Copies of this chain bind each other. A is one copy, B any other.
Amino acid sequence: MKIAQVAPLWEQVPPPNYGGIELVVSRLTDELVRRGHEVTLFASGDSQTLARLAAIYPRALRLDSDVKEYAVYEMLELSQAYQQAAEFDIIHSHVGIAALALASLVSTPSVHTLHGNFTKDNINVYSHHQKQAYVSISNAQRQINLNYVATVYNGIQLTDYPFIAQPKEPPYLAFLGRFSPEKGPHQAIAIAKQTGWRLKMAGKVDAADSKFFEQEIAPQIDGQQIEYLGEINHTAKAELLGNAAITLFPISWQEPFGLVMIESMATGTPVIAINLGSVPEVIVQGQTGFICQNYEEMAAMIPAALKLNRHTCREHVKNKFSVTQMVDGYEAVYKQIIKNRINLNGYIHAAKVRQ
């Protein structure tokens, strides 16, 4: 198939440190190329890909302090992708609502992966375009009525996450994620203090969360029991998770997927999480971690989690959240959408599809 992948421009594909969407797009794109598809990746010019790279800006916008209006470049990227729509059998967008109006004006079908959450504002646009084809990244994410064609879970490459059979001594709990209230870093600290466990934390602090970090997090960091490692790269991330006894996921929002849970399990480390959003779809209760109703329960499950089989955790990721699984899922989605188009109206594009 001739496939366009449209990625956000904020980060490189793949991202050097953080950037869940860009990581997923990278793995998906390269594997599609390996499977023989003709893929064009719309992304920042410093991206690394096996596909044909179509870049409207030379580097990740995050790295360019000259850029004041982010949306402008996203618009330009979408313009280019949709002006070439006739060249593709399908356009796969990862940029959310910005693509919807354009997608509804061309005959090439689009599929939109929902990487984020619905907001009071953006549901108006999604609802208006509810007949577009959507992929949810968890079943829990389907909070409004849209034409969902599948749930395709995010997939990671196991070789990127070395398996660690034995947690490091002295043992510690890990927290990895944005330092925002909904991710619950303050709850992770409370659990550590209550149970006397050491806690190692890493992740970025967005400008919007700087007050929260200063007031709720910084005063608790003592460098002994509670450590903050700052923003760390992929290798350090895999080590932080893999060497941990348990990873905490004390969220207070409807998590759409939660990449850190599968990253942790891939290294062998079980996850204790709050039962919100995607969590029960990602963790196997009592096998790869524990799904809890509140923070007290999270603390109480630590001894049981220490006894879980770390090989089982990794196997679970291999079976359900690998790049292979993810690309199988998307390939099936593309074929189904194109087939439906052919059945419905025999678009001229149909003739171009090579499978």
Contacts and interface: CB of A to CB of B under 8 A. Distances in A.
Interface of A: 56, 66-69, 71-73, 75-76, 78-80, 82-83, 97-98, 100-102, 104-106, 119-122, 124-125, 128-129
Nearest to A106: B105
Given A72-B124, A75-B98, A75-B100, 8 more contacts: A56-B124, A66-B120, A69-B121, A72-B125, A79-B129, A82-B101, A102-B105, A105-B105
Given A82-B105, A83-B104, A97 B75 contact: yes
Nearest to A104: B83
A119 to B, nearest CB: 7
B83 A124 contact: no
Nearest to A81: B101
A130 to B, nearest CB: 12
A121 B102 CA distance: 21
Contacts of A67: 121
A75 B82 CA distance: 16
8 contacts: A67-B121, A72-B124, A75-B125, A79-B125, A83-B101, A83-B104, A101-B102, A102-B105
B71 A71 contact: yes
Contacts of A97: 72, 75
- Which among A71, A73, A79 has the highest number of chain B CB atoms within 10 Å? A79
B78 A101 contact: yes
Q: Identify whether the interface residues of A are mostly helix, strand, loop, or mixed.
A: helix
A101 B128 contact: no
A76 B124 contact: yes
Nearest to A77: B101
A110 B119 CA distance: 31
Contacts of A125: 72, 75-76, 79
Contact of A75 (B56, B68, B69, B101): B101
A228 B106 CA distance: 53
B69 A83 contact: no
A69 B122 contact: yes
B68 A121 contact: yes
Given A71-B71, A72-B97, A97-B72, A104 B121 contact: no
Contacts of A102: 101-102, 105
